[in-house]
Structure 1
Amino acid sequence: MSATEISSPESPNRLAQATAYFLKFSLLFLILLFISSVFEIILASSDHNLKSGILSLIKWASLENLAFWLRIALPAYLIFSLVYLVSRSLAFILSNLAIILFFSIHLLLIYYYNTTLVMLGGDIFGYSLAEITQTVGASGTLAIVPVMIFLVFISLVIAGILFIRKRIFFPPVIGLLVPVLSAAYIFVGWDENVQPKLETDFETKLAENKSEHFYNAAYRHFEPEIYETDIYAESYVKNYLAGDDVLEPVEYVDEFNYPFLRKSTGHDVLGPYFETKQKKPNLVFILVEGLGRAFTNKNAELGNFTPFLDELSDKSLYWPNFLSGGGRTFAVLPSIFGSLPFGKTGFMELDQMPSELSLFNVLQKNDYQTAFYYGGNSTFDNMNRYLKANEVNRILDEPTFPEAYQKIPPSAGGFTWGYGDKELYRYYLNTVADDTTAAPYLNVILTVSTHDPFSVNDQDRYNERFEQRLEEIGFRDELKEEYSKYKKQYASILFMDDAIKEFFETYSKRADFNNTIFFITGDHRIPEIPMTSKIDRYHVPLMVYSPMLKRTAQIESISSHFDITPSVLAFMHEQYGIQTPSENAFVGQGLDTLRNFRNIHPIALKQTKTDFRDFVMGNYHLNGNSLYEIQPDMKEIPVNNPEKKAALQNAFDQFRRKNEQIIEGKKLIPDSLKVYGS
């Protein structure tokens, strides 16, 4: 193309010029995508353990980047050409700014995943600015090294832009290949069966394009969700699960006005395990931040780093195949104590939280005192708002701790989550009266030590305990080197386990210990230790321990956080005569106590405040558009079964439709049930 042609104002030539220039910009964009992926994989290999090999990861990441590039090339070409026809200089300025801005954000998304092992998506819109600042401050992600890397990479982007503008030229006919290939790809599509063949879920996500995930998730967050009403949905669930008729059908009362309202089943599955006493038992829930099954108790996939909890599980009712309701802490209180749907960004984020029935308010109507203990600030995730709506008698969190207590060591940026587990338990034991004649209590303890940045008091001691534990487990030298990359995480787990041990040693000397039932579970699994499967994020243990137990059991069947309150209320009604409502809006149907592996629960799971793509039914797990079969050890294998996939998708859509109705303002319970609720 001659200089005369390039400067010509005629529309046909200007369109040809736009096509030629777009090819340069688009190729630069593709090259920078490849470079950023190579950088990301090298960064991950230095910080984490890669089982698939760097070349394999680069291959799959390149395919992901190529697919992303082809998806956006045609719309980008159309926009560029239209702007170019109006103003050539404006097209260049906007293109330059777009590339610089894109890769600035892209690099931040890469570093976020490398630090947290969580792909940032629409969940950023589910948190306030204060909560985002708090989380980023805790993780210390704004260190000097990543800032320097960021500046170097953006300099590379700018240099690339200047180079192609002056040194590289293509004829327009070649430039047409990009929009033509993009159009062909968009209309034909990528083969869905071409999935990354990598060893772990961590590596599969590593190969994904972080920007594509972020923008798709943001779009899903703001896109209105529409689900068609299917009057046969419940029969689908029943027929799917009830090959041996193990699932009792849900009897809904008035789905139009109260989407989740149903008859209470009232089956007491816990009673046969307990010695019933005359006085109502105290209930203590210990919700451990990040307590995943992957590193807890015997046969843990990553090794047993909780020796005391392992010992306690042998004296408990123990569910090793248990699921949390969410992949972050926002879901734990509503899931466990209210068996509630999620709303849009979590039940506690609803502008108008509808009246509900919960373990808190039903037991309060039966003379229980309630309290919530937390080492951090309970304003995070709106926990205090939810607790106040349930009229919890006392909320004791970071601002209420006396000066005598020692906070978690601050991060490099000076941030601390609050008080560690040992101080939290000490505060609890100092403020709960040991009075066997007082009213029974329901107390909830939520810990924070096993949260990023995993700093604990007496850090050197627990770093040494980590090294000792590697020896006790019997790891080979090469495994020790791999695990050392997560020393802070594992040291905090050992600290957490010691704190619980000291807590029970002290509690066992109290007069009220013999009439107390303890529930121990994780809010979700620590994401900063790489995961092998999609379900791993939700895979937590549940232990029900008490001196009142007359027999113990290891229960292999799957249940979830949603099933706890229905079973506890049925137990309290049958064994202690407390008044419970004949109807409720619980999502869960109660704990399954069959010792063999099975799942009779349809379970919707929400990974983050905005990532709502997981559904478990029977032995299958639907994650987005992918179907997995859950094995007895809770490992997953991908399966291609359109019939089962359609069954799960249908049941999941019906749950989300009902959830959407709650977002729109429909009630959970009628006014007649508020005598039990808040």
Structure 2
Amino acid sequence: MSQISSFDHLSFREKLINATREFFSISLVWLFLLFLLSLLELFYNTLVNAVQENFFRLLMYSCWMDVLLWLKWGAVCYIFYLIFYVVHPKSAKFTFKTFICFAAIIQTALVLYFTTSLNLLGADLFSYSLQDVQQTLGASGGLSVVAVLQFLVVVAICISILWWLPGFIKLPWALGIIYPLASVIIFFTSTTLAWSQISLQTTFASNLVTNKSDYFFTSSYYYFFPKTDYDVDIYADNYIGIYDNLDNSVVDYEYLDESNYPFYHVDSDTDVLSPYFNLNEKKPNIVIILVEGLGRAFTNKGAYLGNWTPFLDSLSTQSLYWKNFLSQGGRTFAVLPSILGSLPFAQSGYLGMGEKMPNQLSLLNLLKHNGYETSFYYGGDASFDNMELYLRRNKIDDLIDKDKFSTNSGLLPETNGFTWGYDDEALYAKYLNTRPSDSMAKPQLGVLLTVSSHNPFKINQQQEFYDRFEERMTQLDFSESKKQDYRAYRDQYASILYTDAMLKKFFENYEKRPDFSNTIFLITGDHRMPEIPMATVIDRYHVPLILYSPMLKRTSEMASISSHSDVAPSILRLLKSNYQLDLPEDTSWLGKGLDTVVNFRNIHQIPLIQTKVNMKDYVVGTYHLNGDRLYEILEDMGERPVNDSKQQKSIMDAYNGFKQKNAIITNGGKIIPDSVYIKYTN
């Protein structure tokens, strides 16, 4: 009673002084906890993820990111603290400390997520259904006892420090007022973003020092309050001229009716693939193999992490091989609409539109219109990410996922009661055993999506491929020190070796079929596996494309850049040139078609989407825009930062033009006229 009474007799100035002093003391402990969590995160990642950069340099950057988060929240917390303090001082302390505890819990959880997946968790969390989240968590290892214990220990330490340390901090109140004032300046200054720029050797290191809570809440804010103020008129006569400052080979389409069909344009009739083929009289089978996580970083000759795919490397020398190829997305949700439909992303990926996906033409329904039988094979659950819905809307003939496998043989090992489904060996066997191969059968378009090289990277022949992993490191002439670093990712590399071995077995078995000689195979990755640290931002999208067929009359290795969205147009033009397919003259393809120039160049404008809510990458010519940063893409697909405001403005304008068009689709716009869709899907 006496304490409350004495507080009531304090003047407003004295209350303000006391509140400011106590708030600053607790806030300094909050900053200390942020530093402590960053220190623990760096130590932990040094142990489990073989961090290569200087530890103290990383700690310096990490602490700076913590300071920026601390400053962003300072003024808001101060205002609420004062309000609570005027009513009841103890309640103010308790509420603020509780807030910091929750902040520490969230930060710890986000750090554990990053350490396991090497992905920053942002607003993409809100783009998945509860069922998808549960499946991903379960199949990826779920919440292990060790992880839960680590989490509880860290949280207990934070709570103990928070309730014990503030009482020992006695600082002048005038010093405390600087904190909320600095917070206001930081919050409203345009230089905040510049202060948060990180210059480190690898994308992994940059992500490591990023404050995970700041990334999550910033991403979430822009998810619920997206920016839509694009300042480019996509209908202006000089829109194509937006590329004048870029590579002269980069040109735009001739659009037909952008206000109603923003991506509808006159199609090119350039067939670049026919010169490489001696095609048979009968239409060829097309087999597209989408390999989970197959990144160029560890695939084939010249891979900077080493060549972990000896069979694919050998196959690429007998093929048309694009070594500088890009996936359209950083996760699997983007691969089907990109490679089959060359489609835009809408708000959360094209598949994220669900039942609102507008009608569109694709490799599936157009080839079906021209006498092909279409099929999709997946060892997992095809309803994940709305893949099944997309395929059904594209008139797929046969859809085989894990529910259509008749035995448990080939099921991937369970983790906490979950499994992604069937391994690659079972998937390929299912395809070979169920697809017709006789000469009287319809021509086939088969799409296969693998799952064995997905987190948690547990396979049925685990020990055999652990042994192969050790053998491969010796074959690659790794030093003992380098071998030790790579063992931190033994499961990932073992799954890659398994994937490569099963592809070899698939081709050996396919060669025994009578239709082998009349089949065109395409092999690519859906995206680069993120669970092995990445060197650059573009690395996430850098995948190989191998086009192999017994009908090839010559092979070639292309250094020119193309992407998933270029596949469908080129396959259709090849078939149209040789078999007079009935195809529309005007299309909505995002891609212009594969570039077969052997030298390094890029004639495409390539939008990329890393996660369902992270659409900030755009490639034009040899430039890569990543948010507010501009990079030059080098011949080995490395990147270097570019400080060229004029060039960056040109590319940003081009990207904003794409985003305006994309927003029309998000808001209910159409891809193609209904009459065109009906004509080619009836």
TM class by shorter-chain length?
A: over 0.9
- 1:222-371 superposed matches below 5 A: 222-226=224-228, 227-230=230-233, 231=236, 234-243=239-248, 246-351=249-354, 352-371=356-375
CA deviations 1:192-226 (Å, max 9, x no partner) are 27743422110111011000001111111111331
What is the alpha-carbon distance in structure 2 between the residues aligned to residue 81 and residue 173 of structure 1? 15
Partner of 1:444: helix, strand, or coil? strand
Partner of 1:566: helix, strand, or coil? helix
Equivalent of 1:530 in 521, 528, 533: 533
CA deviations 1:497-543 (Å, max 9, x no partner) are 00000000000111000110001000000000000000000000001
Assess, with a 3 A threshold, how the Cα gap between structure 1 residues 307 and 364 changes in structure 2: closer, same or farther: same
Higher mean alpha-carbon deviation, 309-318 vs 434-443, is at 434-443
Q: Name the counterpart of 2:400.
A: 396
1:519 aligns with 2:522: yes
1:562 aligned partner, one-letter code: S
1:70 aligns with 2:74: no
- Report if aligned partners of 2:231, 2:653 keep a CA contact under 8 Å in 1: no
Q: TM-score, normalised by structure 1?
A: 0.97
2:77 aligned partner, one-letter code: A
What is the alpha-carbon distance in structure 1 between the residues aligned to residue 22 and residue 195 of structure 2? 35
Q: Superposition RMSD on alpha carbons, in Å? A: 1.7
Q: Name the counterpart of 2:576.
A: 573
Q: Name the counterpart of 2:12.
A: 11
Q: Which structure 2 segments of 5+ residues have no match?
A: none
What is the alpha-carbon distance in structure 1 between the residues aligned to residue 245 and residue 358 of structure 2? 32
1:373 aligns with 2:377: yes
What is the alpha-carbon distance in structure 1 between the residues aligned to residue 497 and residue 341 of structure 2? 31
Q: Name the counterpart of 1:38.
A: 39
Higher mean alpha-carbon deviation, 400-409 vs 614-623, is at 400-409
Give every structure 1 segment of 4 or more consecutive aligned residues whose post-TM-superposition deviation is greater than 6 Å.
2-5
Higher mean alpha-carbon deviation, 114-123 vs 639-648, is at 639-648
2:54 aligned partner, one-letter code: G
1:105 aligns with 2:106: yes
1:221 aligned partner, one-letter code: Y
What is the alpha-carbon distance in structure 1 between the residues aligned to residue 505 and residue 183 of structure 2? 62
CA deviations 1:447-481 (Å, max 9, x no partner) are 00000000111110000000000111111111111
2:604 aligned partner, one-letter code: H
2:292 aligned partner, one-letter code: E
Deviation of 1:619 (Å):
0.7
- Report if aligned partners of 1:562, 1:590 keep a CA contact under 8 Å in 2: yes
2:379 aligned partner, one-letter code: G
CA deviations 1:31-89 (Å, max 9, x no partner) are 00000000000010010121212111111111111122122212221222223233334
- Report if aligned partners of 2:264, 2:671 keep a CA contact under 8 Å in 1: yes
What is the alpha-carbon distance in structure 1 between the residues aligned to residue 504 and residue 432 of structure 2? 14
Equivalent of 1:541 in 541, 544, 551: 544
1:91 aligns with 2:92: yes
Partner of 2:478: helix, strand, or coil? coil
Assess, with a 3 A threshold, how the Cα gap between structure 1 residues 194 and 346 changes in structure 2: closer, same or farther: closer
Partner of 2:543: helix, strand, or coil? strand
Equivalent of 1:650 in 650, 653, 656: 653
- 1:479-558 superposed matches below 5 A: 479-558=482-561
What is the alpha-carbon distance in structure 1 between the residues aligned to residue 209 and residue 169 of structure 2? 30
- Report if aligned partners of 2:30, 2:162 keep a CA contact under 8 Å in 1: no
What is the alpha-carbon distance in structure 1 between the residues aligned to residue 269 and residue 29 of structure 2? 64
Assess, with a 3 A threshold, how the Cα gap between structure 1 residues 50 and 501 changes in structure 2: closer, same or farther: same
2:366 aligned partner, one-letter code: V
- Report if aligned partners of 1:356, 1:677 keep a CA contact under 8 Å in 2: no
What is the alpha-carbon distance in structure 2 between the residues aligned to residue 92 and residue 381 of structure 1? 45
CA deviations 1:479-508 (Å, max 9, x no partner) are 111111111000000000000000000001
- Report if aligned partners of 2:240, 2:251 keep a CA contact under 8 Å in 1: no
What is the alpha-carbon distance in structure 1 between the residues aligned to residue 171 and residue 196 of structure 2? 32
CA deviations 1:232-257 (Å, max 9, x no partner) are 574244424443xx344310000001
Q: Name the counterpart of 2:180.
A: 179
Assess, with a 3 A threshold, how the Cα gap between structure 1 residues 154 and 590 changes in structure 2: closer, same or farther: same
Partner of 1:103: helix, strand, or coil? helix
Equivalent of 1:410 in 401, 409, 414: 414
Partner of 1:279: helix, strand, or coil? coil
What is the alpha-carbon distance in structure 1 between the residues aligned to residue 247 and residue 42 of structure 2? 45
Q: Name the counterpart of 2:169.
A: 168
- Report if aligned partners of 2:622, 2:633 keep a CA contact under 8 Å in 1: yes
Partner of 1:192: helix, strand, or coil? helix
What is the alpha-carbon distance in structure 1 between the residues aligned to residue 444 and residue 588 of structure 2? 24
What is the alpha-carbon distance in structure 1 between the residues aligned to residue 461 and residue 579 of structure 2? 44
1:370 aligned partner, one-letter code: T
- Report if aligned partners of 1:355, 1:677 keep a CA contact under 8 Å in 2: no
Higher mean alpha-carbon deviation, 35-44 vs 340-349, is at 340-349
Partner of 1:118: helix, strand, or coil? coil
1:131 aligns with 2:136: no
1:513 aligned partner, one-letter code: F
- Report if aligned partners of 1:233, 1:650 keep a CA contact under 8 Å in 2: no
Q: Percent identity?
A: 44
What is the alpha-carbon distance in structure 2 between the residues aligned to residue 232 and residue 620 of structure 1? 24
Deviation of 1:158 (Å):
1.8
Q: Name the counterpart of 1:631.
A: 634
What is the alpha-carbon distance in structure 2 between the residues aligned to residue 484 and residue 312 of structure 1? 27
Q: Name the counterpart of 1:592.
A: 595
Partner of 1:176: helix, strand, or coil? helix
Assess, with a 3 A threshold, how the Cα gap between structure 1 residues 194 and 400 changes in structure 2: closer, same or farther: closer
2:372 aligned partner, one-letter code: Y
What is the alpha-carbon distance in structure 2 between the residues aligned to residue 6 and residue 51 of structure 1? 55
What is the alpha-carbon distance in structure 2 between the residues aligned to residue 603 and residue 180 of structure 1? 43
Deviation of 1:422 (Å):
0.6
Q: Name the counterpart of 2:207.
A: 205
- Report if aligned partners of 1:376, 1:417 keep a CA contact under 8 Å in 2: yes
Deviation of 1:406 (Å):
2.3
What is the alpha-carbon distance in structure 1 between the residues aligned to residue 262 and residue 23 of structure 2? 52
- 1:49-64 superposed matches below 5 A: 49-64=50-65
Deviation of 1:647 (Å):
1.1
Deviation of 1:146 (Å):
2.1
- Report if aligned partners of 1:372, 1:445 keep a CA contact under 8 Å in 2: yes
Deviation of 1:444 (Å):
0.3
Deviation of 1:575 (Å):
1.3
What is the alpha-carbon distance in structure 2 between the residues aligned to residue 115 and residue 455 of structure 1? 15
Partner of 1:676: helix, strand, or coil? helix
Partner of 2:636: helix, strand, or coil? coil
1:382 aligned partner, one-letter code: N
What is the alpha-carbon distance in structure 2 between the residues aligned to residue 50 and residue 164 of structure 1? 32
Deviation of 1:166 (Å):
4.0
Assess, with a 3 A threshold, how the Cα gap between structure 1 residues 599 and 337 changes in structure 2: closer, same or farther: same
Assess, with a 3 A threshold, how the Cα gap between structure 1 residues 171 and 618 changes in structure 2: closer, same or farther: same
Assess, with a 3 A threshold, how the Cα gap between structure 1 residues 165 and 469 changes in structure 2: closer, same or farther: closer
Deviation of 1:94 (Å):
2.3
- 1:599-638 superposed matches below 5 A: 599-638=602-641
Partner of 1:634: helix, strand, or coil? coil
Assess, with a 3 A threshold, how the Cα gap between structure 1 residues 643 and 5 changes in structure 2: closer, same or farther: farther
Deviation of 1:191 (Å):
7.7
Q: TM-score, normalised by structure 2?
A: 0.96
- Report if aligned partners of 1:233, 1:654 keep a CA contact under 8 Å in 2: no
Higher mean alpha-carbon deviation, 371-380 vs 144-153, is at 144-153
Deviation of 1:589 (Å):
0.9
Partner of 1:449: helix, strand, or coil? coil
